[in-house]
Structure 1
Amino acid sequence: MTTEIGLPASAPAERQALIERWAERHGVDAARRLAEAEDLADAVAAEITPDNTVDTYAKSWRVWSRFCAATGLPELEGSRGALVAFVTWMLREGQQNGKGYAPSSAGTHLAAAVVGLRERGAKVTGDDQAEARQALEGLAVRLLQTGERRGRGQAVGADIDGLRAIARACPNTLTGDRDKALTLTGFHYAARSQDPAGLLTGDVTLHPRGLVVAVLTGKTKHSVRNAKIRYADDPAICPVRAWTAYRARLVAEHGQQWADPSTPAFVGIDRWGHITGGMGPDSVTRAITRISDRAGVPIAWTGHSLRIGLASVARRKGRDGIAIADQGGWARHSRSMLGYMQRDDGWDDNASAGLT
């Protein structure tokens, strides 16, 4: 069943009303073409939305659905009261184990749930969303005032001692070579977990002075930065040597096809040594944690530890902030980068030291 101008009757009411106004203003044929352009715009938006964003929206909608089921509220009503109740529920008991979410996680679910509501035709005003956000921030302050800390906080940064321990602990297998290359190269270009997961073999090229890694960067406006990684003075933790050893072994053991520039740069390997395809962001995160745990690193690293580590170690060694930003793909003078430039203990790098 369709409307007079050929729009499916199941289309959202707002879109249908818009197209009917176009028909009155421009005629039926023009309205149909404008409707097709809207469909194209929707398809393009879906195609360019990163997979991790889609996953976040889906996960947050499941959280919203659990909230509605628990409270008896209708799923497609995003009123002021419902949104405030949602953030309150998330902080008190929202996780599936009955515990409350960390405020940062609750904020992510709130934003994504609002997107989901609007996509499904529910009206959510900016004022109602803002009030829910304000309630969340106020409740988060109350948690801090009562001494409750939630969330993991900032991940621990990778350091040179940890890299040495990891290099020593990697077994003499293809998996070990991949783990060493993944960690050492990732540290030197300040990798997020999605960065090595998105690399193709052709994105990493040898240069007389090292490697050039073409990293897709940016969360909304994508560009490519060419991070340059030099040979290290210490061969044991040299990212260039680790990369070439891993790739040579991969081709030798599994065939010349893995030298093709279109193949994944970092492959998944099961316990029997079989290639399972390219690594995804979650598998990179799990690998970094497993690798650091195997090496006996005191606090296990996460998928963000390599990124934090480059910024903090480079700063301690006196590297220029702009050079650090360019290598890691941060905006110059980025707040997040400055936050990653962690102080060791607050004694050596202390603003008040020697003032009196």
Structure 2
Amino acid sequence: MTTVPDITLVPADVPGGHHTDSTPSPSGERQALIERWAQRHGIDAARWLAEAEDLADAVAAEITPDNTLDTYKKSWRVWTRFCAATGLPESEGSRGALVAFVAWMLREGRQNGKGYAPNSAGTHLAAVVTGLRERGTSVSGDDQAEARKALGGLEVKLLQAGERRGRGQAVGADIAGLYAVARSCPDTLAGLRDKALVLTGFHYASRSQDPAGLQNGDVALHPRGLVIAVLTGKTKHSVRNAKITYADDPEICPVRAYTAYRERLVAEHGPKWADPSTPAFVGIDRHGHITGGLAPDSVTRAVKRISARAGVPISWTGHSLRIGLASTGRKKRKDAIAIADQGGWARHSRSMLGYMQREDGWDDNASAGLT
């Protein structure tokens, strides 16, 4: 459980201060900053400012999501492969090195010798800049911007050559697909779980980690529907209480689907599954045995399998339910702020607006009806 760090920090070494062997020595860049503080404000103030910097580092480490840390590690491995292939030092983040890194990633950076998609290359670039700075290497904003500019230009060259890389955005779930899913789920505990997973996930724009992180106590029945406490979000906007109302059509009602699934779970496997601390969505093997909670990858695979069984034209991914709420809400003329609040986006989020504009270009067309 994430808590606000309560840390007693040893003051960093400052001119005229005492530094012991047990006190970690600050990096050269940090030490130079402390010395400037000491000259401007005095030794005592410099000590307090140094402690505040250490506390800021501790808070940043505490609030950084695990998947972000995994990305940093993966990206740093890409950087070390680049440096080994080119003979450049790992500890330098110059303009030339970053531009060369971008070009290498697009040309041959993947493990199989093929080039990365531009979006992936951009993610690795940002993470590597963070990694370099954490290791004491100064990377200027201008140098990083130059690498970004090179990446954008090379992406245009790839498009002009007719080369589109990456999987592209996942297809969004839609109402017709929800009906197909509901009708294809068998009348078993696993089938009821699948139906509840998709119908509720669509209505609160779930990411794969959201249903995986839910406990039974996070889902509360209300006279008007369900209230789902989403605690696995990556931002202050995505941590929310999402309200899901009863649907007009019981066939695709998320509230009824979730209630039926939980009632069957308790009836078949005992009252212990009514405990608030149990997983909201459980894993079920082919013999009907409960295997515990679902992991995010399990949710992604489940959504893909469920949609394939339903025969939707293009199989959904773990992100399809999230896209579906935004695009369907836009089509139904829901207010953009209401969509953002329900799905846990920042208001006027660029990603949300992108999902909302993913129609075929005819109905949502700036030139339609002008003449």
Task: Report the TM-score, using the length of structure 2 for normalisation.
Answer: 0.84
Cα deviation for residue 65 of structure 1 reads: 1.5
Task: Give the fraction of aligned pairs with identical amino acids, expressed as a percent.
Answer: 81
CA shift, 1:231, in A, is 1.6
Alpha-carbon distance in 1 for matches of 2:358, 2:257: 29
Q: Identify which range, 187-196 or 114-123, moves more after superposition.
A: 187-196
- Deviation of the 1:242 alpha carbon: 1.2
Residues 1:254 and 1:8: Cα distance change in structure 2 (over 3 Å): farther
Q: Contact 1:166–1:295 at 8 Å: present in 2 too?
A: yes
For the pair 1:124 / 2:139, whether they are aligned, the reply is yes
Q: Say whether residues 1:315 and 2:330 are aligned partners.
A: yes
CA deviation profile, 1:70-96 (whole Å, cap 9, x unmatched): 222222221221111110011011111
* Residue 23 (structure 1) shift: 7.6
Question: Is 1:5 matched up with 2:24?
Answer: no
Secondary structure of 2:72's counterpart equals helix
Query: Is the 1:174–1:249 Cα contact (8 Å) retained in structure 2?
Result: yes
Which ranges of structure 1 fall in alignment gaps of 5 or more residues?
none
Does 1:147 find its partner at 2:159?
A: no
1:172-183, aligned counterparts within 5 Å?
Answer: 172-183=187-198
Query: Deviating runs (4+, > 6 A) in structure 1?
Result: 20-25, 30-34
The CA deviation at 1:255 is 3.9
Q: Deviation string for 1:141-198 (max 9, x for gaps)?
A: 1111111111222221101121122122223333322221111001111222232233
Equivalent pair of 1:191/1:307 in contact (CA under 8 Å): yes
Residues of 2 paired with 1:301 and 1:223: CA distance? 22
SS of the residue corresponding to residue 124 of structure 1 reads coil
Moved more, 66-75 or 164-173: 164-173
Q: Distance in 2 between matches of 1:123 and 1:333?
A: 33
Alpha-carbon distance, 1:199 to partner: 2.4
Offset at 1:133? 1.0
**What secondary structure sits across from 1:172 in the alignment?**
coil
SS in structure 2 of the partner of residue 82 of structure 1: helix
Secondary structure of the residue aligned to 1:81 is helix
In 2: Cα distance, 1:163 partner to 1:147 partner: 35
Change in 2 beyond 3 A, CA 1:345/1:127: closer
In 1, the alpha carbon distance for the partners of 2:293 and 2:347 equals 32
Q: Which moved more, 1:42-51 or 1:269-278?
A: 269-278
Which deviates more from structure 2 when the two are superposed, residues 196-205 or residues 319-328?
319-328
- Decide whether the 8 Å contact of 1:61 with 1:116 is kept in 2: yes
Larger mean CA deviation between 230-239 and 45-54 belongs to 230-239
Q: Aligned-pair distance for 1:334?
A: 3.8
Secondary structure at the aligned position of 1:211 is classed as strand
Cα displacement (A) at 1:106: 0.5
Deviation for aligned residue 1:251: 2.9
2:128 maps to 1:113: yes
Task: Kindly indicate whether residue 301 of structure 2 is the aligned counterpart of residue 301 of structure 1.
Answer: no
Match of 1:90 in 2: 105
1:262 counterpart SS class: coil
Tell me if the contact between 2:238 and 2:343 (Cα under 8 Å) persists in the aligned partners. Answer: no
1:39 Cα deviation after fit: 4.2
Q: Which has the larger displacement, 225-234 or 317-326?
A: 317-326
2:242 partner SS: strand
Tell me how far apart the structure 1 counterparts of residues 335 and 141 of structure 2 sit (CA, whole Å): 41
Q: Is 1:67 aligned to residue 85 of structure 2?
A: no
Do 1:217 and 1:329's aligned partners in 2 also have CA atoms closer than 8 Å?
Answer: no
> Do the aligned partners of 2:282 and 2:290 also contact (CA within 8 Å) in 1?
yes
The one-letter code sitting in structure 1 at the alignment partner of 2:252 is: I
Please list every run of 5 or more consecutive structure 2 residues that lacks an aligned counterpart in the other structure.
Answer: 1-11
TM-score (norm 1): 0.87
Q: Distance in 2 between matches of 1:115 and 1:288?
A: 33
Match of 2:263 in 1: 248
Deviation at 1:8, TM superposition (A): 4.0
CA 1:146–1:186: 2 relative to 1, 3 Å: same
The one-letter code of the counterpart of 1:99 is K
Does the CA contact (< 8 Å) of 1:203 and 1:214 recur in 2? yes
Residue 225 of structure 1: which of 236, 240, 243 is its match?
240
* 1:288 paired to 2:288: no
| Structure 2 CA distance for aligned equivalents of residues 161 and 98 of structure 1 | 41
Q: Which residue in 2 is equivalent to 1:200?
A: 215
* Maintained 8 Å contact 2:239/2:344: no
Distance 1:256 1:39 in 2: 48
- Quick one: distance in 2 between partners of 1:132 and 1:298? 39
Task: Choose the corresponding residue for 1:336, options 351, 355, 370.
Answer: 351
My pick for the range that moved more, 254-263 or 123-132, is 254-263
Distance in 2 between the 1:225 and 1:336 partners? Answer: 18
Higher mean C-alpha deviation, range 219-228 or range 284-293 = 219-228
Offset of residue 108 of structure 1: 0.6
**Alpha carbons of structure 1 residues 292 and 125: separation in structure 2 relative to 1, 3 Å:** same
Residue type at the aligned position of 1:104: N
Which amino acid is 2:272 matched to?
Q
- Residues 32-88 of structure 1, C-alpha deviation per residue, up to 9 Å, x if partnerless? 776665544433321211111111111111111221122222222212211111100
Following superposition, the deviation at residue 259 of structure 1 comes to 2.5
Preserved CA contact (<8 Å) 1:5 1:31: no
**Inter-partner Cα distance in structure 2 for 1:220 and 1:210:** 25
Task: Give the secondary-structure state (helix, strand or coil) at the position aligned to 1:151.
Answer: coil
Distance 1:107 1:195 in 2: 26
Q: Sort the Cα spacing of 1:138 and 1:347 in 2 relative to 1 into closer, same or farther, 3 A.
A: closer
Counterpart residue identity of residue 132, structure 1 = A
> What per-residue deviation string (whole Å, max 9, x for no partner) do you get for residues 110-160 of structure 1?
000111111112222222111111111111111111111112222211011
Q: Which residue in 1 is equivalent to 2:8?
A: none
